[in-house]
Chain A
Amino acid sequence: MSILKADHISIQFGGLKAVNDFSLDLEQKELYAIIGPNGAGKTTVFNMLTGIYQPTQGSIYIDGKLMAGCKPYQFTEAGLARTFQNIRLFHGATVLDNVKMAHSFKTDYNFFNMLSRTGKYHAEEKRITEKSMELLEMFDLQDKKNFFANNLPYGEQRKLEIVRALATEPKVILLDEPAAGMNPNEIDDVVSLILRVQKDLGKAILVIEHHMKMVMKIAEYIKVLDFGETISEGTPEKVQNDPKVIEAYLGGHANASRN
């Protein structure tokens, strides 16, 4: 069964059709990638898949559940988590708190347990802290748990964003340019991190990335967008050799035929 399914979704902003007829069917442990030139509508697709935008046409299913009209937090409750192209950490909080914040919606105590600090509160807080620490340890951030999130080096901020996304215990993770602004060493780290999340933790992953080497290495299936249209899709080999893709990236069919 598919974990994340987009069924012919389109979105229109006034007269502009930003994304047209986009479909996707992501199953467990699969790693898909969306690529395309700047302004192709990749992030718009992400925003639709996470509920920030409502598609004007088509529907989205998470784990078989129709998500029409749902708010972003309901998408997360249904099992979807994402990271952002421009890092959006909770900068005023520590690394540990960032991860704990992502546990908020799963906390099993009510308002009055919280105000009066009953046993349930203490038990839950302990569970959340332990779980968060487990995640931080898994990704070698445990030593920095008391750092403010915006004091971390850039690469680790990206990492923390992924860890925080994992803390919501998602079935599928959407990564928006996880390697943006990184040097080759850091990119290798991100690649191994993503593969760990996919293989060891068994999450389905959808990634937007501009770094082609990385995409070709990790993605099992690639969708190429240009001006909101899906111009090509398939395995990395197939996409790489698709003249339409080459045209979209390099412009003009003359280049394509010469290659």
Chain B
Amino acid sequence: MNWLRKNSEVIILPLIYVVIFLLQKNKILNNYVIQIIMLAGVNIIMTQSLNLVNGMTGQNSIGHAGFMAVGAYVSALFSKIIFNAAAMPPTMQTIFFLLATIAGGIGAAIFGFLIGMPTLRLKGDYLAIVTLGFGEVIRSIIRITPAVGAARGLTGIPKLASLFWIFVFVVITIYICRNYMDSAYGRGCLAIRDNEVAADTMGINTSKYKVQAFVTSAFIAGIAGSMYAHTLRYLHPDVFSYTKSTDFLVYLYAGGVGSISGSILGAFILTALPEVLRFMNEWRLVIYGGLLVIIILFRPVGMFGGKEFAFLKLKTGGIQHIGFSNLFQRKTKKTIVANEEASR
């Protein structure tokens, strides 16, 4: 029982899936809602990925949709054109879906490396400009490449992603990001975020740490791209525009930059919100925008900035651990320290 209380995630996470699954099976949630949930999952993966760069390492990547595009197109090509996965038996399909996803991740990671290597050696905001340009360049290249459908878009991608697989990849991403942040690698990145000069003189090879985090982030973004491609079955280059990158930035900063829980909830809530508000027709985006303004005004660190779910068991960063019960509760410093003590 005590073990269970300490490792509540082994219950909570499968439970979330089972609940959604049962709701789907019993037709309480229709396919439209399920698809929103799946896209929210993709957005969670993307926001996690962005959090590694913007939140943990303190660098600014503002063209992250570019990596997602690379991952989406590479994996779609892999499953559609090279292996024609649609004509395969289901088990083979799953295997090829996973392979395509990894291929998408690797493709994005290669671009991440090529971009990160020269820019991250510099101190300052060069990464922002370069990633911004990268996102647009990738989009333009896709637009003029007939092999990937050019400006018509890539159609007929097999629907291989399912609620289950997206859920699995969300959990894996969270696990990886948690492990990353809670290690010497993550601490090195946090040190760079807080003070790059001091990090340098503490023996941290700043450009190496930054590139590692950036490539990992690009890899995860590629995986999100693959999930996206195999969910919607149709890719259009303009989907991965600068607006898309901005969406992820909004999820991240409204959720709480630097916080894994913040990126999860930010992405989920802000993906679901416009859909929930759909009954208000044209007013929904006004309310959406108004909410963002309110969040930034009253909680500049984001909804969950500086807080983490207790089940993540993060030890680094001096964050406040929150359980599901006290999600919105304000706490005094004393209880934070006491919680920290208990969690060690």
Binding site for B on A (CB under 8 A): 50, 52, 71-73, 75-77, 81-82, 84, 88-94, 97, 100-107, 109, 111, 114-117, 121, 124-125, 128, 146, 148, 164-165, 168
Contact = CB atoms under 8 A, between A and B. Distances in A.
B123 to A, nearest CB: 12
Given A73-B206, A93-B190, A52 B197 contact: yes
Interface of B: 176, 179-180, 183-185, 187-188, 190-191, 193-195, 197-206, 212, 258, 316-318, 336-337, 340-341
A251 B190 CA distance: 47
B190 A90 contact: yes
B184 A90 contact: no
B205 A105 contact: yes
Contact of B184 (A50, A103, A148, A168): A103
Contact of A104 (B180, B188, B198): B188
B176 to A, nearest CB: 6
B201 A90 contact: no
Contacts of A88: 195, 197-198
Nearest to B337: A146
16 contacts: A50-B201, A73-B200, A75-B201, A76-B202, A90-B191, A92-B317, A93-B191, A93-B318, A97-B316, A97-B318, A100-B184, A101-B202, A107-B183, A111-B185, A111-B212, A117-B179
A106 B340 CA distance: 25
B117 to A, nearest CB: 16
A49 B180 CA distance: 33
A169 to B, nearest CB: 10
Given A73-B205, A77-B203, A97 B184 contact: no
B184 A128 contact: yes
A141 B94 CA distance: 54
Interface centre among A94, A101, A124, A128 (most CB of B within 10 A): A101
A44 to B, nearest CB: 15
B203 A102 contact: yes
Given A72-B201, A93-B191, A100-B184, 7 more contacts: A71-B200, A73-B201, A73-B204, A84-B197, A93-B316, A93-B317, A102-B202
A91 to B, nearest CB: 6
Contact of B190 (A92, A106, A109, A164): A92
B317 A89 contact: no
A52 B200 CA distance: 9
Contacts of A97: 187, 190, 316-318
A70 B172 CA distance: 38
Nearest to B212: A111
A146 B320 CA distance: 11
A17 B199 CA distance: 28
Contacts of B341: 146
Contacts of B204: 73, 101, 104-105
Nearest to A144: B337
Nearest to B205: A73
B184 A109 contact: yes
A146 B318 contact: yes
Nearest to A114: B183
A100 B202 CA distance: 11
B195 A91 contact: yes
Q: Which 6 A-B pairs have the closest CB atoms?
A: A76-B203, A107-B184, A105-B203, A94-B318, A90-B194, A88-B198
A75 B317 CA distance: 27
A185 to B, nearest CB: 27
A222 B197 CA distance: 27
A106 B194 contact: no
Contacts of A52: 197, 200-201
B172 to A, nearest CB: 10
Contacts of A73: 200-206
Given A92-B317, A106-B203, A101 B190 contact: yes
B176 A93 contact: no
Interface centre among B194, B206, B212, B317 (most CB of A within 10 A): B194
A58 B67 CA distance: 46
A76 B201 contact: yes
A231 B9 CA distance: 66
Nearest to B319: A94
B194 A92 contact: yes
A77 B208 CA distance: 15
A83 to B, nearest CB: 9
Nearest to A110: B185
A111 B183 CA distance: 10
Contacts of A77: 203
Contacts of A100: 184, 187, 316
Interface centre among B201, B205, B258, B340 (most CB of A within 10 A): B201
Contacts of B318: 92-94, 97, 146, 148
Contacts of B180: 114-115
Contact of A90 (B179, B183, B195, B205): B195
B195 A125 contact: no
Contacts of B179: 114-117
Contact of A101 (B188, B212, B258): B188
Contacts of B202: 73, 76, 81, 101-102, 104-105, 164-165, 168
A71 B205 CA distance: 8
A106 B187 CA distance: 12
Contacts of A116: 179
A45 to B, nearest CB: 15
